[in-house]
Structure 1
Amino acid sequence: MNGLGRARGVVMVEGLPGSGKSTTADDLAKWLTANGATAHHWPEGRADHPVDFEHVSLLSDGEYTRIRDEDPQSWHRLDARAEHYPGMWLIRHTDKLDLPPALAETIRGRDAYDGDVSPQLHARVLSESWRRYGSRMPQPGIEVWECVFIQNPVCAFIARFDQPVDALTAHVQGLAAAIRGHNPMLVYLDAGDPEPVLRAVASERPDWWLDLVIPYHTQQGYGLRRGLEGFDGYVEFMRMRRELELELLSKLDLPTLLIRTDEEPRSATAERVHAFVEEHLVA
């Protein structure tokens, strides 16, 4: 095999919970590194992700100015970590705010994913983040991203805001177009019917995991409006999500590898992912 020292690309790994995203992404990054590539693996939940917004809050120009006028000392601390977007200020690492408790709570209340923000604002700032990444000159190296291309948009647009599927599709298509120059590709892991997979995942993870994911998918947005309840409601949402995401794949203009992970051993999945990525990397 030829060395991958000058190879570049963005590999986005997606799939439902329990499909093996983290294991696959970690294995891929290690394989790339072992074969001479500069690989950067970004697991789910990284606050410093190149395009995503974990622990990031959105403040309007007016809100940002009001903090400056009312509490200059706190504003200077914020300003050191703030990033300006059109009409907005992004405050990163909000889990580490050194601010008066009331102000910190207010800022966290404007979280990009879970705070008091509209679906339109959420979509606009995420799209701008991807556009900014895409506008940079591509460098040698391979980015391996988990969850940020399909899972997070589906959670925001559907689970939280119950937006039309067409709006979600257009948003995800726009994300792919924004980073076209960085050679993006998609690995989608499909574990089949979600119920047995989710039961297995729930048995392996701490109790608090279900205490978080069930309300998220049943007590707001799509689930609330359709009366979903409990674990069965969570499974129903995930069955809908699986169908939605598989349909979405056919509408994306980028190299895509779809694997039914319940039909082959993990070693075979890893080999197929390696071959697919190697085929689509560019120098």
Structure 2
Amino acid sequence: MNTKLIIVEGLPGFGKSTTAELIKGILSENNKEVELVLEGNLDHPADYDGVAWFTKDEFDKILSISGSFREVFLHRVIEKDQHYFLPYSKIKNEFGDQFPDELLNEIFKKDIYELPFAKNVELIDSKWAEFANNAVHDHKTYIFECCFIQNPLTIGMIKYGEEEEKIIDYVKKLERQIERLNPVLVYIEQDDLAYSFKKAVRERPKAWSEGFIQYYTTQGFGKQHGYEGIEGTIKVLEARRELEMKIVNKLNIKQLKINNSSYDKEKYKSVLMEKLEWLLSTHER
């Protein structure tokens, strides 16, 4: 079995990034060629982060108000079949305070994860198809931290409160795109969701927890149910986990479930190595 994609999924604070890093280390130690792609990577090969989408007329309008950034946008925009993709986060990182907030806010309205649900599904599905077309010819294994299940649930359930079947269909569409890569889903579980999330809140910057709680309780599913604060966020996460399990059970790709409740990194690595033993013995360069 030539696995070209390993996807690590689980709820916030469950240990996705740690797991992805450990898997990379284990495969590398066994002379496997791997590429790790963590959440938030602005060059994600299968997803968009900090990218806005425009029609030609919409992009022309942005150019008309962009002032000194007009040439920058024209140079950086990616055009595909009359679709215009602007990596605005990269531009903001490069130019800092020179990038006017008013212009940035106008562009952010067209961020791919601010678009209507159906348009987001269309664009993300196309991006995964593009990735699979390229990755199938690579002599390496990609390791993705989330984005396969998490992102469809984030926009579908958390942001828009969409029907479960639409969200499930979204993930199934992505599954069909990557089937040829013989993917493996590593799903991380925790015995105590509330403890794990509160641990993440304690350990991460305050801005992260404040933004996360606001995102989860002021729109979509959280708003529909009147949830507030950290306890309300936990209620949303519990519902998200329930839907995630429904999705996982409907997927046809190879799955490895692993419990990270002990937070013992060395012990966890040993369990991972045991779980991945079949992959290490059958992986082909």
Same fold (TM over 0.5): yes
Alpha-carbon distance in structure 1 between the residues aligned to 2:64 and 2:58? 10
- How far apart are residue 100 of structure 1 and its match? 5.7
Question: How many percent of aligned residue pairs carry the same amino acid?
Answer: 25
**Preserved CA contact (<8 Å) 1:7 1:140:** no
Cα RMSD after superposing both structures: 2.3
Quote the Cα distance in structure 2 between the aligned partners of 1:209 and 1:225.
Answer: 23
Question: Any gaps of 5 or more consecutive residues in structure 1?
Answer: 1-5
* CA–CA separation in structure 1 for the residues paired with 2:59 and 2:207: 35
Residues of 2 paired with 1:280 and 1:243: CA distance?
A: 33
Q: Write the mapping of 1:37-52 to structure 2, written as runs, cut at 5 A.
A: 37-52=32-47
Instruction: State the partner residue of 1:123.
Output: 121
Query: Within the alignment, does 1:186 sit opposite 2:185 as a pair?
Result: yes
Secondary structure of the residue aligned to 1:80 is helix
Rounded to whole Å, the distance in 1 between the matches of 2:178 and 2:226 is: 38
CA pair 68-210 structure 1, distance change in 2 beyond 3 A? closer
2-side partners of 1:15 and 1:276: how far apart? 22
- Letter of the 1:26 partner, please give it: E
Aligned counterpart, 1:90: 85
Is 1:8–1:142's contact at 8 Å kept on the other side of the alignment?
A: yes
2:2–2:182 contact (8 Å) kept in structure 1:
no
Greater share of residues in helix:
2
User: For residue 278 of structure 1, what is the aligned residue in structure 2?
Assistant: 280
How does the TM-score come out when normalised to structure 1? 0.89
Task: Note if contact 2:10-2:16 (Cα within 8 Å) is conserved in structure 1.
Answer: yes
1:276 CA displacement:
4.9
SS of equivalent residue, structure 2 residue 52: strand
What's the counterpart of residue 107 of structure 1? Answer: 107
Residue 165 of structure 2 corresponds to: 166
Q: Give the one of 43, 54, 57 matched to 1:59.
A: 54
CA contact (8 A) 1:9 1:282 kept: no
1:30 aligns with 2:25: yes
Following TM superposition, by how much is the alpha carbon of 1:243 offset from its aligned partner in structure 2, in angstroms?
Answer: 1.1
In structure 2, the partner of 1:18 is: 13
Render the CA deviation track for 1:70-110: whole Å, top value 9, x for unaligned: 66864432132222344521111424245762333311232
In terms of mean alpha carbon deviation, does 198-207 or 118-127 score higher?
198-207
Alpha carbons of 1:279 and 1:188: their partners in 2 closer, same or farther (altered >3 Å)?
Answer: farther
Task: Tell me how far apart the structure 1 counterparts of residues 18 and 226 of structure 2 sit (CA, whole Å).
Answer: 34
1:144 deviation in Å? 0.4
TM-score, scaled relative to structure 2: 0.88
Q: In 1, distance between residues paired with 2:244 and 2:251? A: 11
Q: Is the 8 A contact 2:192 2:261 kept in 1?
A: no
Between the two proteins, the alignment pairs up a number of residues equal to 276
CA deviation digits over 1:34-90, x for unaligned, max 9? Answer: 211111011111000101111111112211133456668644321322223445211
Against the structure 1 CA distance between its residues 221 and 276, is the aligned structure 2 distance closer, same or farther, given a 3 Å change threshold?
farther
Which segment drifts farther, 100-109 or 189-198? Answer: 100-109
